[in-house]
Amino acid sequence: MRNSDSGVSKTGFQSYQSKVQNPKSKILKTVLHWFRRDLRITDNTALTAATRASERVVPAYVQSAWEGSHRWTGAHRQEFLCGCLASLDRNLREIGSQLVIRRGDAVVELERLVAETGASAIYYNRDPDPFGRAVEERLERMGRERAIEVHDFKDICLHERDEILTQKGVPFRVFTPYFRAWLKQEKTPPCGRLRALNSGGTLPQSAPLPQLADWKLAPAGPGLPAGERAARERLRSFLDARVGRYSTDRDMLAIEGTSRISQDLRFGLLSIREVFALCEKRARELPANQRVGVEKFIGELAWREFYMQILWHWPEVLDQEFDPKFRGMRWWGDIALFARWRDAETGFPIVDAAMRELAATGHMHNRARMIVAMFLTKDLQLDWRLGEAFFMQQLMDGEIASNNGGWQWSAGTGADAAPYFRIQNPWTQAARYDPEALYIKRWMPELHDLPAARILRPPEDGRSLVGGYPAPIVNHAEARERALEMFHSHG
């Protein structure tokens, strides 16, 4: 049986909390909490509700069983996931429990765990993408067939699904009015950290904690420290030292001006409610001239939820352009150039530096993401879907909704997108956001001895900047005109 404990004005936890505080409510003996994208014990909506509604909670994670390659992920993200799960297990042990790992189909494994533990209910936090929703629908059917209660909760977003609508009751297609409505909505406060979790003695048999080799993936290189504690340290560092300058520093490629918590939100190491509450608190502490930085960062949190709402209401954006007038457009570019972009061999230093950063770390600066995405779609006239898929396989923080939204924004085909005729010049972007070429030199050591002025402008003779580095594969001015012609011809 399905019990969706959420409404427009309440989270699932708030709604369910009102039930469990009622002395007439039935307290369940054993329930499962299914960890998904909520790998923390602090302010975890479904986990908190499960502990208040039952005598015993069995915490479980079902590891995917694919091997070799996957459409939506790769080594950087899976390695970070392994670290997050190891950290979660340690945190659970500190409060009297431990993580039960199973590998395979989530619904099949959860049904088996119900049989092994005698659990009468499964608690989980909802996924915003269509793939997660499909699994949830199967789980609900299984619950109805087996008479198992299934409780789903809102946790990933402050506001989701139909909570932010226009006055006509339809979803927003443009960010600014969405953001105004988003800001007006009451924000649920965080509910704190679990101090104890009763899992009732012997837990069912668990598979070992996941390792990268389980998916037959090779290590991709050094990444960020994983786990809830590391995520909280990143957030604290940002709010203490950088958020006041965020509105100006966030675009500068060579400095640490961003929050670096995107992967922490992706895996639920941080609660979005706590992040928002701490931002508001920090804004009250900062002088007026620095509060704009907090406001800008809160706007980025809202962009994340805007793209999730777009994906919820228009899941076809994963395969089609959001703007119908661009559907079916023929991309004129030479597909052979995709490999040059992918392998950081375009001859455009800012593009190649960003692609090297991605390959080495699983991260790319947000401004650099816009530069390389617009270069692929406008300078090379290649389909945004190629870049979207590649990013999802490389990014540690790969978020389906945000990645799709960002790529379609850059291509000019998405929700509230940059107009197709807005075509960034990679050379001027580099000069503006990396004026001393420090970011470029960090990732392009072969250019280290060149003066910044030479790196930041196209070679006058069209040749390579240094031996062994390719000449620019296109002339930007000519590519711009060709891109405009491509879009005009479709319209």
pLDDT recorded at residue 271: 98
Query: Encoding tokens for residue 267?
Result: 């895996």
Q: How far apart are CA 361 and CA 79, in angstroms?
A: 11
Q: What is the mean pLDDT of residues 409-433?
A: 93
Q: How far apart are CA 155 and CA 72, in angstroms?
A: 22
151 and 163 part of one domain: no
Tell me: the pLDDT tens digits for 145-195? 999 999 999 999 999 999 999 999 999 999 999 999 999 999 999 999 999
For 490, list phi and psi in degrees, rounded to 5.
-75, -40
Pairing of strands 28-35, 100-103: unpaired
Query: Encoding tokens for residue 398?
Result: 């790969």
266 and 378 part of one domain: no
pLDDT recorded at residue 317: 97
210 within a domain of the structure (yes/no): no
Last residue of a domain, one of 250, 281, 313: 313
142 within a domain of the structure (yes/no): yes
Question: Is the predicted pLDDT of residue 5 greater than 80, yes or no?
Answer: no
252 and 398 part of one domain: no
Give the range of the structural domain holding residue 463, as residue numbers without chain letter: 324-490
40 and 178 part of one domain: no
354 within a domain of the structure (yes/no): yes
Please identify which of the residues 312, 341, 384, 443 carries the catalytic annotation: 384
pLDDT recorded at residue 461: 83
Tell me: the pLDDT tens digits for 234-245? 999 999 999 999
Residue 331 a catalytic site member = yes
134 and 165 part of one domain: no
Please identify which of the residues 407, 409, 425, 443 carries the catalytic annotation: 407
Please identify which of the residues 300, 314, 345, 446 carries the catalytic annotation: 300
Q: How far apart are CA 40 and CA 44, in angstroms?
A: 7
Q: How far apart are CA 228 and CA 268, in angstroms?
A: 8
The count of structural domains within the chain is 3
Please identify which of the residues 34, 303, 409, 443 carries the catalytic annotation: 303
82 and 174 part of one domain: no
145 and 172 part of one domain: no
Question: Is the predicted pLDDT of residue 133 greater than 70, yes or no?
Answer: yes
Residue 215 a catalytic site member = no
pLDDT recorded at residue 223: 85
39 within a domain of the structure (yes/no): yes
Instruction: Judge whether 332 and 487 are in contact, CB under 8 Å.
Output: no
Question: Is the predicted pLDDT of residue 288 greater than 70, yes or no?
Answer: yes
pLDDT recorded at residue 349: 98
State the pLDDT confidence band at 279, using cuts at 50, 70 and 90: very high
Residue 303 a catalytic site member = yes
Instruction: Judge whether 460 and 279 are in contact, CB under 8 Å.
Output: no
Cβ within 8 Å of residue 307, ≥6 positions away? 401, 402, 404, 405, 406, 415
Task: Calculate the alpha carbon distances from 291 to 231, 247, 303, 334 in Å.
Answer: 23, 9, 19, 46
Query: Encoding tokens for residue 328?
Result: 């079916």
Pairing of strands 121-125, 149-153: parallel
Task: Decide: helix, strand or coil at residue 57.
Answer: strand
State the pLDDT confidence band at 421, using cuts at 50, 70 and 90: confident
The distance of Cα 243 from the centroid of its chain, to the nearest Å, equals 20
Q: How far apart are CA 361 and CA 432, in angstroms?
A: 24
Q: How far apart are CA 252 and CA 409, in angstroms?
A: 20
20 and 168 part of one domain: no
Cα within 13 Å of Cα(237), Cβ side? 12
Question: Is the predicted pLDDT of residue 448 greater than 50, yes or no?
Answer: yes
How far separated are the first and last CA of the chain, in Å rounded? 49
Q: What is the mean pLDDT of residues 321-342?
A: 96
Question: Is the predicted pLDDT of residue 26 greater than 90, yes or no?
Answer: no
DSSP code at position 207: P
Q: What is the mean pLDDT of residues 445-458?
A: 96
Q: How far apart are CA 207 and CA 112, in angstroms?
A: 14
Q: What is the mean pLDDT of residues 395-402?
A: 97
98 and 162 part of one domain: no
DSSP code at position 210: P
Torsion (CA) 435, 436, 441, 447 in degrees, nearest 10: 100
For 54, list phi and psi in degrees, rounded to 5.
-145, 165
Q: What is the mean pLDDT of residues 229-258?
A: 97
Pairing of strands 100-103, 149-153: unpaired
Please identify which of the residues 215, 331, 341, 443 carries the catalytic annotation: 331
DSSP code at position 103: E
392 and 338 part of one domain: yes
pLDDT recorded at residue 27: 85
Residue 478 a catalytic site member = no
Q: What is the mean pLDDT of residues 218-243?
A: 95
- CATH code of residue 299: 1.25.40.80
Task: Calculate the alpha carbon distances from 65 to 100, 159, 351, 375 in Å.
Answer: 16, 32, 35, 35
Q: How far apart are CA 56 and CA 61, in angstroms?
A: 17
Please identify which of the residues 149, 314, 345, 366 carries the catalytic annotation: 366
93 within a domain of the structure (yes/no): yes
Last residue of a domain, one of 267, 291, 313: 313
Q: CB atoms < 10 A from the CB of 143, how many?
A: 22
420 and 482 part of one domain: yes
Instruction: Judge whether 138 and 109 are in contact, CB under 8 Å.
Output: no
Q: How far apart are CA 231 and CA 207, in angstroms?
A: 26
pLDDT recorded at residue 17: 41
Instruction: Judge whether 474 and 377 are in contact, CB under 8 Å.
Output: no
Amino acid at 174: V
243 and 180 part of one domain: yes
Of 7-11, 334-338, 373-377, 398-402, the poorest mean pLDDT is in 7-11
- CATH code of residue 117: 3.40.50.620
197 within a domain of the structure (yes/no): no
pLDDT recorded at residue 15: 41
216 within a domain of the structure (yes/no): no
pLDDT recorded at residue 9: 31
Cβ within 8 Å of residue 284, ≥6 positions away? none
Q: What is the mean pLDDT of residues 288-295?
A: 96
Q: Of 217, 258, 214, which is closest to residue 239 (Cα–Cα)?
A: 258
What average pLDDT does the chain have?
93
165 within a domain of the structure (yes/no): yes
Residue 314 a catalytic site member = no
